[in-house]
Amino acid sequence: MKSLLFKTLVLLPVVTVAVTALPAWAEREVRVANNGKGTIYTVDMDSLSVYVGNQGVKQVNFKLSTVGDEYWHDATASCNPYDVKSEFYNWSWSGTRSYPAGTIAGDIARAVCP
């Protein structure tokens, strides 16, 4: 009698989770700017990634949040001129304007730029 060997293939469902923002907790979370209306912006100083952009300008990728927000959001600072862009906050830059200290973008950029 011949023995038959049956191979069984079990397909398990795959669950994919898309995470657009990480929970806002960091060892080195620093308050960097205040808009005067109660919104306080914080930066995860452990998330800084410095590089030189195409125009030779030093830029920093980092995680940005606000006090009370449970998530970190991607942002990029330009170090000269001082500016910040963030898709989440709907901030963009022209590449020519530099925000002074005392402004939200100016304070955030100065906090993260080396």
pLDDT digits (tens, 9 = 90+) for 21-78: 556 556 889 999 999 999 999 999 999 999 998 889 899 999 999 999 999 999 999 9
Strand partners, 89: none
Find out whether 62 and 43 touch, Cβ atoms under 8 Å: yes
Q: How far is CA 3 from the centre of its chain?
A: 60
**42 assigned to some structural domain:** yes
In the predicted model, what is the mean pLDDT of residues 9-32?
Answer: 60
Looking at residue 40, its pLDDT comes to 98
**76 assigned to some structural domain:** yes
Q: What is the tally of structural domains in the chain?
A: 1
Cα distance between residue 33 and residue 91, in whole Å? 15
For the chain, what percentages of helix, strand and coil (3-state, to nearest 5) are there? 10, 40, 55
**44 assigned to some structural domain:** yes
Looking at residue 6, its pLDDT comes to 45
Residues found in the chain: 114
Residues of the domain holding 105: 22-112
Looking at residue 21, its pLDDT comes to 59
**47 assigned to some structural domain:** yes
**2 assigned to some structural domain:** no
